[in-house]
A and B are shown apart, each in its own frame.
Chain A
Amino acid sequence: MNKLWLIIKREYLTRVKKRSFILATILTPFAFVLFFIVVGFIFSYEGDDKLKVALVDEHGILDRKPANEDNLFFVIKDDGYDQLVSGMDSSEFDVVIKVPEVKILSAKTFEIEYHAKKQLGLDIEMNLESKISSKIRDYKMREMKLEKSQLDNLKSSVSLTRGGVEGESKFTTAIGAGIGGVMGFIMYMTIFIYGMMVMRSVMEEKTSRIVEVMISSVKPFQLMLGKIIGVGGVGLTQILIWSILIPIGYLLVGLFFDFDLEQMNSAAAAGSNVDVAGMEDEIMIFMNEVRNMNWWSILPLFLFYFLGGYFLYSSMFAAVGSAMGDDLGEGQALTIPITIPVILALYIMMVVVTAPQSNLAIWSSIFPLFSPIVMPARLAFSPPIWQILVSMAVLAATSIFFVWVSARIYRVGILMYGKKVGFKEIGKWLFHKE
């Protein structure tokens, strides 16, 4: 036990003390926050110059000019389209648009030519299109003698909420999917990153021949387990630091730059024309909803699935690492049977967050090779207790079994040199006597 602890300590400390680990752990959250800021800026970018737009309305379609915007000024002209176009270079207008004639009210598509000093951006074109189309709509309403209020009355908004469940709102499903997706993805990433780390480390020990010295002092199983636990500890440390640093970074950026990141992000997602007041309400509901999630059961379960999935996969990575020779490329084929289930699980997870109670969701969250990624994605939807329990039991049993199987492969593999190893060979190792 004491030896296992020594191994765990070494595996953990040598990694955590590495400069690359410290940099990655501290810088990644900042990179993350920086990324959001940059994305926010990109989406809030609206072009540099102000454009003066002349709307030539020869047929009296416009009742009044569209409201000016930060970068768009509108002026209505009754006629003189041709002069405006030909004299454009010297005129004050940057854009000249001829408002089309609406001959019949049922006409739905209008192709309008515009002239501009320089090519307009796609977003400005779309903006102008929507401005003119709403003006045409207003014109049609006037002609049809429709009141705006009448039209508004036609609109109905329906939102589905599941009855009999407390504290659920129209956001619950979307938020569940979001949180589930994030958790599933974190699991996917950690299994890969830290599983590979275990594999590389086993290979290094084998190629540097330290392993023979080591196992004359400790059992191969202790060495493998110590490595897996140590590296797993590194993973947990990193996740823990990130889960503290990312929110702090988020807040700091908010304070220093004095803008509301959440609003910016949602604005970025929803496009530029958003009803800000409405947005704020939605954000409040959203934040409430996130707070109301049952974190006290989600987080421990997440930890359980992290450990289960990590042990299951990293032990396999350790076994494969022990079978590999010095040639990483040659051994790559051996990792395929491990990577395929992980990738499959990721895809299943993406479907499962949109249909969390489907048969696919239930079975894949019980199947132990998928459950570490799929079940965390379902947790936000409060799946039935029995499913969680069954899935946990199956995962725990399978993890222990895989660690055992991998240890049997490992103890033979680490002492096997100069031999190209295939699956058949590895299969034989399983039944080797000690």
Chain B
Amino acid sequence: MGILKIDDVTKTYGDYMAVNHVSFDMPEGSIFGMLGPNGAGKTSLIRIITTITRADSGAVYFNGEKLNSTHPSQTGYMPEERGLYKKMKVGDHLMYLAQLKGLSKKDAKSKIDYWFEKFGIEDWWPKKVEELSKGMQQKIQFISTVVHEPKLLILDEPFSGLDPINTNLIKDEIYELNRKGTSIIFSTHRMEQVEEICEHIVLINKGKNVLQGTVADVKNQFKDNLFKIEYTGILPENVLNMAKVIEKTDKSIIIKVDAETDSNQLLQRLLQQEVFIHSFNEILPSLNEIFIKKVESIGMTSEE
């Protein structure tokens, strides 16, 4: 049973259909990438999951239960546009947000202390939020999102505006939380991060989910059966007959084979020749390529 099940959800604003019959399942304990260009409807969908707004039709199930008012305390949401009360003290602010998520005063205090220690920022408690730099505020924002140990963590562009060091810091925390069993929705349009972090993805464009599955499955689905072979020696023509040459240099070749052709078969043939193989790789498309391909094809069909 998945932590989250989106079942045929729609949401319209005026004439604009922000979420158009979206369905997907999110496995428990996964890091789930929600991809899509700007304005695709990711934030609208997240707002439905976090009960900020309600779906016009369809249903959302959290841990098998229909979404209700007990669930916000089990989710942590870090919106893309972040903000804190500027005049509040950092510690008081975190206490406030933690208590609003249902923690008792005592629990809130000990958990905030844990995170302060972890980030080495014990002396920040009495500082005012406005005295902190943007990156520092981002850390506080992250703590406020995870302090109540949510089952489901929703991060909307969590690394935007962060320097590489802090990006890695937050990334490590995300992995650690995931190891401890937290399911994480990671919403972004930065594909390289998704490829690095996520196991599952759903691609949303113009309010619809156009693609979903594990990263490996999706890549396989979109592969062009390209192989790159690095070699020394002379590659005989008859080998190349069974495949189309895409690119050829003295030392390497990229070939496209028929979908049915077994890579083992190809390799076997190569090995029979007087050629020395250094490497044999299947070239899988990057998520970025898939993303652009998919988004552009939809853009074209919808313009017709």
Contact B99 A210 (CB under 8 A): no
B96 at the interface (CB under 8 A from A): yes
| B78 surroundings in chain A (CB, below 8 A) | 213
Task: Tell me whether A209 and B75 are in contact (CB under 8 A).
Answer: no
A113: Cβ under 8 A from any B Cβ: no
Measured in the bound complex, the distance between the Cα atoms of B99 and A216 in whole Å is 13
Number of A-B contacts (CB under 8 A): 61
Q: Closest CB-CB distance, B45 to chain A, in whole Å?
A: 14
Query: Does B179 sit within 8 A of A, measured CB to CB?
Result: no
Separation in Å of the A356 CB from the closest CB of chain B? 45
Main secondary structure of the interface of B (DSSP, over half): loop
Known A-B contacts A6-B96, A213-B79; A208 and B84 likewise in contact (beta carbons under 8 Å): yes
Give which listed residue, A211, A217, A434, contacts B83 with CB less than 8 A. A211
Q: Mark A398-434, 1 if CB is under 8 A from B, else 0.
A: 0000000000000000010100000000001000011
Choose among A7, A205, A217 the residue that contacts B101 (Cβ–Cβ < 8 A).
A217
Question: Distance in Å from the Cβ of B12 to the closest Cβ of chain A?
Answer: 9
CB-defined contacts of A217 to chain B, threshold 8 Å: 72-73, 97, 100-101
Q: Of B48-56, B160-168, B184-192, which binds chain A?
A: B48-56
Known A-B contacts A216-B50, A217-B73, A415-B52; A209 and B82 likewise in contact (beta carbons under 8 Å): yes
Interface residues of B in 50-64 (CB under 8 A from A): 50-54, 56
Instruction: State the CA gap A434–B47 with chains docked (Å).
Output: 11
B16 interface hit (Cβ, 8 Å): no
Q: Would you give the 0/1 interface string for B132-160, flagging 1 where the beta carbon is closer than 8 Å to chain A?
A: 00000000010010000000000000000
Q: How many residues on A have C-beta within 8 angstroms of the other chain's C-beta atoms?
A: 22
> Which residues of chain A are near B81, meaning CB under 8 Å?
209, 212, 417
Who on chain B is nearest to A13 by CB? B92
Q: What count of chain B residues pass the 8 Å CB interface test? A: 29
B226 CB to nearest A CB, Å: 43
Indicate whether B87 reaches chain A with its CB closer than 8 angstroms.
yes
Q: A6 with B99: in contact, given A14-B87, A217-B72 (CB under 8 Å)?
A: yes
Checking A7, A205, A213, A415 against B82 with a beta-carbon cut-off of 8 angstroms, the contacting residue is A213
Closest to B73 in A: A217
Q: Decide yes or no whether B77 CB sits under 8 A from chain A.
A: yes
Closest to B81 in A: A209
Q: How far is the CA of A342 from the CA of B14 in the complex (A)?
A: 34
Interface: A215 (CB within 8 A)? yes
Interface residues of A (CB under 8 A from B): 3, 6-7, 10, 14, 205, 208-218, 415, 417, 428, 433-434
Closest 10 CB pairs between A and B?
Answer: A209-B83, A210-B83, A208-B83, A216-B77, A209-B81, A217-B100, A216-B50, A212-B79, A434-B54, A215-B52
